[in-house]
Each structure stands twice: as structure tokens, then as C-alpha cells.
Structure 1
Amino acid sequence: MMVNFADKSVLGLAADPIRHDLGLSATGFGLANSAFFLLFSLCGAMGGLLADRVRPRWLLLGMALLWSIAQMPMALGGGLAALVVSRIVLGAAEGPAFPVAQHSALAWFPDNRRNLPGALLSVGIALGVVLAAPSLTWLIQHHGWRSSFAAVAVAGVMWAAAWTVFGGDRSSQARAHSVIVESGNNEEGSSPAPSYRRILATRTWIGATIGYFSTYWMIALSLVWVPSYLHDGLGYSTTTAAGLVAGLWAINAITLLSQAGVTGWLLRRGVSSRWARGRVGGVSLLVSAFGCGALSQAARGPVTVLLLLVGFGLCGAMSTVAVTTVAELVPARRRGGALGLMNAAVTTGGLIAPVLTGYMVDTQGSAGYQHAVLLAAALLLLGGTACVTLIDPARDARLLTPSTVVVGR
């Protein structure tokens, strides 16, 4: 996930020189970024469903090699057409990464121990940007923006080589012995798994998906437009903006680990997941909504930095909450598909947010950034409310469990 999100961050970090060299307007640049998500959601769903049938170890390896290859056209001198095509291929390759990685990792742990490994995978997202922001910015400034594409391609190939040697897989064992991994109920292994249609109709899946959608909207803005917002909208230097981006993602990592600790502590003391996951995740989104709402009205200064860190840094906790909540709700035989379909729904935010923000900036100037942040606050408010009111895995798990039929003689 570190390599995955370093890949995603390149375009945002190199936004100004890319727009200058390729002659792109803000809307055109937003469209180029949205091209990344053209197949991202579809392939995310397909990859999740495939993970229920194919060993995730090989899926992850194939994806990493493909997304590394997709970076090379821009490293070797490609223009606008190559940029769009490479981003589409990159999105198709990276779409299934998060749900498949979570599906693979969570299979090794019982439900009340999944918060930390789930959070660590999400921390990889934050660390990818924390490390990429200063290092890739330095590369862009000293060796040109194309060197950053070459750097992330090499990192992907190196990861694939290491994964070939050290990567493990327990998903097949988890499916065969879901009785042990899930809840100790020896009836689960023999009972029919619920259909995806029934899973997607539960209030918990819907609430987690709405909350995660608002988080992914913020992730897309952070990757694509926050560097330009800090530089063009608030007047910070490129180096300072890169440092603030790294700080934002560092806060995100701390929040993820804190959420995992709080949620795990609550679950081990018998608190229901409705509170330990749904309420904790929902409150983090509501606090972020307040931060973004205030940020949209603030001028440059220390308070603005604090509001930026609150608005964009705290909401990331919902990515782990959503995954572990759905993993708790869904039996192992349907987990990959349920996570992939959720990922497909939420990542449509990445398709819409960059181009909509670019349009606002083109038509409204610097005020467009403020309105984009205000819109983000409204979405976070919606997501937090959905989490607090809809998520209840224990209730919905009972609805998915087949009724016991007693046949009398």
C-alpha cells in the first residue's frame, strides 16, 4: 500500500510542471487524474470477487507488476495521450489492491484482533505519501517531473521481487476453516453463504460504504489538489506545501493506529461493534467535517494548518473501520467480493472529485478551492451521520444467517 499510494501521489506533487509542460488547464488536469478512476472501481469489484476464487498472493503480485509497467510511458517522454492511457491502466491495476490486501491479511486473524493489521495496511497508505511527498518533490525539482514516474516504477518492481520470495497466503485455509477464524460456530462451514445482493442490502454495508465514500473523496483531494491548494490557493512555497502534505498524512497514520487501539480495547471489553466501530468511525468523520467547514472560511496562518490537519487527517480512520466492519459482517466465503464491491462504490469519489474541483478552480479562481473544501465538509457530515445511524454488524449478521428449520416426526 505504501508503493501503491506513492504511485497515486506523483501527479499531485508534479501538478504545476506537468500542467505547464503539457499545456493543461485545471479542468484538463482534473480529467487526466479522473482517468485513473475510469476502470479503478470496476476492476476493484472484479478483483474482490476474484479473490474469493484465486489466491490473493498471485493477484497482488500481478497487480504490482502491471502498475509498475504503467508508469514507464511518462518516465520515457510520453505526452498527454500517454498520460491518460497510462493512468487508466494504472487505475485498473491498482483498483483491487486495497480490498485484496485487506482480504489476504485479515484471514490470519480473528475478528477482535483485526483492527491493528487492518490499520497497519491503511497506515501504509499514509506512509506512502509521507515518504513520497518530500523525496519525489526533491526529484521533481532537481531531475524533472518524469524522474518521479521512473522512481515509483522501480519501487514497484522491487516490491514484487520481495513479495515473490516472502509473500504468504492463508485465504484458502480461512475459507476451509471459517469456523475457527470467524466465530467458533461450527454450523457456518456447512450453511449456505448469503448472496451478495443480501449483503449489499444490509444497513451496515450501506452505512460503512457511505462513510468510506466521504473518506475516499478526501483521499482523492489530498492526492490531486491539496498540493496546488496550498501553493496556489494559500500561497505556500512548493517545499512548504510538500511538508504540509507529508504532515497531513502523518496525522492520518497516527489517527489510524489510535482508532485501532481504541476499537480493539472496546471490543475486548465486550462493547458492541455498533459503538466500537460505527460510532468511533462516524465521530471521526463528523470532526473532520467541522475542520473542513472552518477551513473553507480561514485565511493563511497557523489556524489554517491546524484545520487542514483536522479536516483531511482524521477522516482516514474510516477506511479501516469500513473494512473491518464488513469483514465482521460477512462470512469468509463472501468477504473478498463484499470488500471489492464496497471499494468499487467508494472509489467513484476519486472519479468525480478531481474533475469537479478542477472545474471549480477554472471557473472561480482561488475561491474554487474554498468551495471544494466546503463541499467536502458536507460529504463528511453525510458520511459521519450514516455511520452513526446505520452501522450495526451484530444485528445485520443475524439477518444474514439462515433460519434453523426443525423437522418433526
Structure 2
Amino acid sequence: MSDPRRRAWTVTALLVVFMMVNFADKSVLGLAAEPIRTDLGLSASTFGLVNSAFFLLFSVCGAAVGLLADRIRPKWLLLVMAVLWSIAQTPLALGGGLALLVASRVLLGAAEGPAFPVAQQTAMSWFPDRSRNLPGALVVLGTSLGVLLAAPGLTWVMDHHGWRSAFAVVAVAGLVWALLWVRLGGEGRYARAQDDASSARAGAPTADGTGATVPRTPYRRILTTRTWIGASTAYFGAYWITAFALVWLPSYLREGLGYSTAASARVLMLVYGLNAVVVLGQAVLTGWLLRRGTASRWARGRVGGALLLMSAAACLALPSAPAGAATVVLLAVGFGAAGAMTSIAVTTVAQLTPADRRGGALGIMNAVVTTAGLIAPTLIGHLVDTHGADGYQYAVLITGALLLLGGTAAVTLIDPDRDARLLPR
């Protein structure tokens, strides 16, 4: 494929599918919850622990492989991840009980922890900074598309062929993607700065023809910038509401708000549909602002912060809203507007960070942020056990407060142009 632009978008499309498979893998256990519990004789508490096992190594491996991505080509890291996903799912498709189920989720979490930052790093290597928002947003969009397609598709498979067949489907999907990636995947020309920096450290001639040694920027310098702290805080709020939506939003709609199963499904489609529109709309707006010369603190920090603050306001108003259309609107905005911060945080940190430190900076950010996926489901479950249906309302208020903190951090702290000047390149 000789056309670099066509190759860039082909790789981006493969990475979108990569994230779709990733989130289908995440959602399959929840979709098959009732038949799995019945077949294996699991209590609700035991099944909850199985879900928590997924995050046992998720954040640790996210940081470790992110650091590794600064030394090993991301193409091969992504390939290994996809193969491991399939390996993790295959035994459950063939048989096995609780022990195998737990082992499968631990392996899957370890292999999926680095997926998002490494996929974003690879996508960004094909585009200059001013053009990264759209491909970054499309990779994020893959997470929503994965859930939207997995829910009806895997449910149909389970209804007709049993719950184990759903694990077989996602295992095959991972292998098919891996075969396509071997043939078509790779990094783009904007990853070459990383090679130049590595050569310079070894004393080899760099792009400017010199052999001067270029020192690596210490990670602590990057992680203590106001931009990294602000982007990570904002991203934490966005990931918190993602975890809330994946695990508890259907139950909140039915038990907390009294919607029927059919009505809950329609609201969920509205939430994920709005999320997709906001993610793409933000990418277009931010890209347009950057091309017009707008500083990144406005094009990224202020835009992302405004979306989080909008989501926070909707969540804080939701518990006291009258039932009906107002509740639906607040639900859609509260749970659908914050997701764009995911791609904003990634492109912001990528702009800030020297190329040979980008994988580590993104991996560490992802490891810190995804602890929300471990904390949120457990905390919300405790609130529901303690307060019944009112526990959902307390959970929504806590979520609103975290989004308010994240939005404020994005607006006040993010300025990659300023902080990049303080780092050795």
C-alpha cells in the first residue's frame, strides 16, 4: 500500500476494530451474567469478585507495557495483546468452572490494560499534531461501537448456542484481527523522531547530521507537569463514568429510575449514541481550532473541560430532576458528554511528551486513570447494598463531583505548549 495517507487511515480503521474487540471482550461477562451464575452455581458476591479479578493486573500491565512501547515497536505489542485475548477466552468456550473463569479474567485484564494507550500511540504516529484529534477520537469511538454491537450480537449467539459460544466468538474475532494486523499494521513516519532520539543517545548521527548525545527526559519531569496532572485528573473523571455506565447504568435505569427493560435499552442507545456524536464533534472542533492557530490550552483543555463541566452539571441535577423527559436529557448529557475527554487527554499528553517517552507517559497515565474501573463498581455496589435504590442517587452525586473536579483541572491546568517548553526535547 504505497499511498501514505491511505495507509494511515487503514491502520486507524484497524485500531478502531481493535478497540471494538477490546470492549466486546469486556462486556461479554456482563451480558452472560445470568446463565453463567446459573450454570456454575455462583452467588452474586462471587460473581462480583470474578469481575473484580479483571482489574487485578490491568493498571500494572498498562504502565509496564506503556514503558515497553518506548523500546519495542507497538505493532508487535498490539499483536501479542490480541493473541492473548483470544487465548484467555478460548478455554471458557470449551468448558471449565469458577477457577478457569477467574484465571481467564485475570489474563484478559493483564493483556487489555495496555491496549488503549498503545493503540493511541500507534494511531498518532501516522499524523502530525494538528491532525491527531480525529484519528484519536475514532479509536475512542471503537469502545462505544464495541459495546453497541456486542450487546445484541452476543446476546443472539447466547440465546441460540449457549453462553460459552459467546466466548468462542470474541476469541475468533481477536485472531482474525491479529491476522489482518500482521499484513496491514505498523507505525507511521511521525514515530521517526523516536528513532532519531534513540540514535542520538547512542552517539549516532541524528536527523540534523550531528552525533551529539541527547539526554532522555526523566519521566518524573513529565509526570509533574501541570498539563499531565490536569489531563490525568480529567481523564479519571471520564473513566469513572465509563465504568459506572458499563457495570451499573442498566441496573440504575431499572431499579433506581423504574424504567422497563425495553425503555432502559432505548436510553442506553441514546447515551452511547450521544457519546459517539460528542467524541467526533469534539475532534472536528478541536482540529479546526488548532488549524486556525488556537493555542492547545483552549482547543484541547478548555473544550474538554467544558464537556466535563457540562456532564458534571447534568449528574448533579439528575437526582432532583422530575421524572420524564428532563431525566432522560440529563442522563444522556451526564453519561454521554464526558467520553470525549479520553481522546483529548491522550492527544494532549502526546503533544507535551518527547517521542521517545510517549509510550511510557501514556501508559502511566492510563494505569493511574483506570483505577477508577476498580473503585467505581465496588463503591457503587456498596452504596446500593447500604441504601437500596437511593444508593444510585448518591453514586450519581459522587460522579458529578468527580467530573466537576476533572473539568476544573482541565480548564485551569492543561497547557501543553507552555509545559513542553520546560522539557528537554
TM-score by length of 1: 0.90
2:340 is the counterpart of 1:317: yes
Of the three residues 198, 206, 211, the one matched with 2:229 is: 206
2:194 is the counterpart of 1:175: yes
TM-align CA RMSD: 2.5
User: Which residue of the partner structure matches residue 149 of structure 1?
Assistant: 167
2:123 is the counterpart of 1:105: yes
Deviations 1:101-121 (A, max 9, x none): 111110111111111111111
User: Which residue of the partner structure matches residue 361 of structure 1?
Assistant: 384
Per the TM alignment, residue 30 of structure 1 is displaced from its structure 2 partner at its CA by 3.6
2:313 is the counterpart of 1:290: yes
Any conservation in 1 of the 2:232–2:369 contact (CA below 8 Å)? yes
2:415 is the counterpart of 1:392: yes
Per the TM alignment, residue 300 of structure 1 is displaced from its structure 2 partner at its CA by 5.1
Distance 1:178 1:296 in 2: 52
2:96 is the counterpart of 1:96: no
Match of 1:366, as an amino acid?
A: A
Any conservation in 2 of the 1:16–1:228 contact (CA below 8 Å)? no
User: Which residue of the partner structure matches residue 6 of structure 1?
Assistant: 24
Distance 1:222 1:384 in 2: 19
2:64 is the counterpart of 1:46: yes
Per the TM alignment, residue 7 of structure 1 is displaced from its structure 2 partner at its CA by 1.1
User: Which residue of the partner structure matches residue 80 of structure 2?
Assistant: 62
Per the TM alignment, residue 12 of structure 1 is displaced from its structure 2 partner at its CA by 3.0
Per the TM alignment, residue 213 of structure 1 is displaced from its structure 2 partner at its CA by 0.6
Per the TM alignment, residue 26 of structure 1 is displaced from its structure 2 partner at its CA by 5.1
Per the TM alignment, residue 22 of structure 1 is displaced from its structure 2 partner at its CA by 4.8
Any conservation in 2 of the 1:25–1:362 contact (CA below 8 Å)? no
Per the TM alignment, residue 52 of structure 1 is displaced from its structure 2 partner at its CA by 0.6
Distance 1:151 1:236 in 2: 31
Deviations 1:266-301 (A, max 9, x none): 111111111110111111111111122222334653
Distance 2:196 2:148 in 1: 38
User: Which residue of the partner structure matches residue 126 of structure 1?
Assistant: 144
Distance 2:261 2:160 in 1: 13
Any conservation in 2 of the 1:12–1:228 contact (CA below 8 Å)? no
Any conservation in 2 of the 1:27–1:362 contact (CA below 8 Å)? no
- Larger deviation, residues 247-256 vs 272-281: 247-256
Deviations 1:140-183 (A, max 9, x none): 4444433322222221111112112211223753413579xxxx
User: Which residue of the partner structure matches residue 282 of structure 2?
Assistant: 259
User: Which residue of the partner structure matches residue 3 of structure 2?
Assistant: none
- Larger deviation, residues 81-90 vs 26-35: 26-35
User: Quick one: structure 1 residues 264 and 41, their matched pair in 2 at CA, closer, same or farther if it must change by over 3 Å?
Assistant: same
User: Quick one: structure 1 residues 210 and 40, their matched pair in 2 at CA, closer, same or farther if it must change by over 3 Å?
Assistant: same
Distance 2:37 2:256 in 1: 16
User: Which residue of the partner structure matches residue 76 of structure 1?
Assistant: 94
User: Quick one: structure 1 residues 91 and 185, their matched pair in 2 at CA, closer, same or farther if it must change by over 3 Å?
Assistant: farther
Per the TM alignment, residue 17 of structure 1 is displaced from its structure 2 partner at its CA by 4.2
Distance 2:321 2:43 in 1: 26
Give runs of aligned pairs for residues 294-373 of structure 1, distance below 5 A: 294-298=317-321, 301-373=324-396
Any conservation in 2 of the 1:213–1:347 contact (CA below 8 Å)? yes
Distance 2:260 2:86 in 1: 30
Any conservation in 1 of the 2:92–2:164 contact (CA below 8 Å)? yes
Any conservation in 2 of the 1:35–1:84 contact (CA below 8 Å)? yes
TM-score by length of 2: 0.87
Match of 2:192, as an amino acid?
A: Q
Per the TM alignment, residue 70 of structure 1 is displaced from its structure 2 partner at its CA by 1.2
Match of 2:235, as an amino acid?
A: Y
Any conservation in 2 of the 1:27–1:359 contact (CA below 8 Å)? no
Distance 2:228 2:209 in 1: 25
Per the TM alignment, residue 20 of structure 1 is displaced from its structure 2 partner at its CA by 5.0
What's the secondary structure of 1:399's corresponding residue?
Answer: coil
Give runs of aligned pairs for residues 19-34 of structure 1, distance below 5 A: 19=37, 21-22=39-40, 27-34=45-52
Any conservation in 1 of the 2:352–2:419 contact (CA below 8 Å)? yes
Per the TM alignment, residue 233 of structure 1 is displaced from its structure 2 partner at its CA by 3.0
Per the TM alignment, residue 73 of structure 1 is displaced from its structure 2 partner at its CA by 3.5
- Greater RCO structure (CA 8 Å; 6+ sep): 1
Any conservation in 2 of the 1:212–1:383 contact (CA below 8 Å)? yes
User: Which residue of the partner structure matches residue 136 of structure 1?
Assistant: 154
Match of 1:124, as an amino acid?
A: G
Match of 2:89, as an amino acid?
A: Q
Per the TM alignment, residue 134 of structure 1 is displaced from its structure 2 partner at its CA by 2.1
What's the secondary structure of 1:162's corresponding residue?
Answer: helix
Any conservation in 1 of the 2:40–2:98 contact (CA below 8 Å)? yes
- Larger deviation, residues 137-146 vs 41-50: 137-146
Any conservation in 2 of the 1:55–1:172 contact (CA below 8 Å)? no
Any conservation in 2 of the 1:33–1:355 contact (CA below 8 Å)? no
Per the TM alignment, residue 264 of structure 1 is displaced from its structure 2 partner at its CA by 0.8
Of the three residues 382, 399, 416, the one matched with 1:376 is: 399
Distance 1:37 1:219 in 2: 15
Match of 1:175, as an amino acid?
A: Q
Match of 2:305, as an amino acid?
A: G
Match of 2:422, as an amino acid?
A: L
What's the secondary structure of 2:422's corresponding residue?
Answer: helix
Is there any run of 5+ residues in structure 1 with no aligned partner, and where?
403-409
User: Quick one: structure 1 residues 125 and 34, their matched pair in 2 at CA, closer, same or farther if it must change by over 3 Å?
Assistant: same
Distance 1:290 1:20 in 2: 40
Per the TM alignment, residue 261 of structure 1 is displaced from its structure 2 partner at its CA by 0.8
Per the TM alignment, residue 327 of structure 1 is displaced from its structure 2 partner at its CA by 0.4
User: Which residue of the partner structure matches residue 15 of structure 2?
Assistant: none
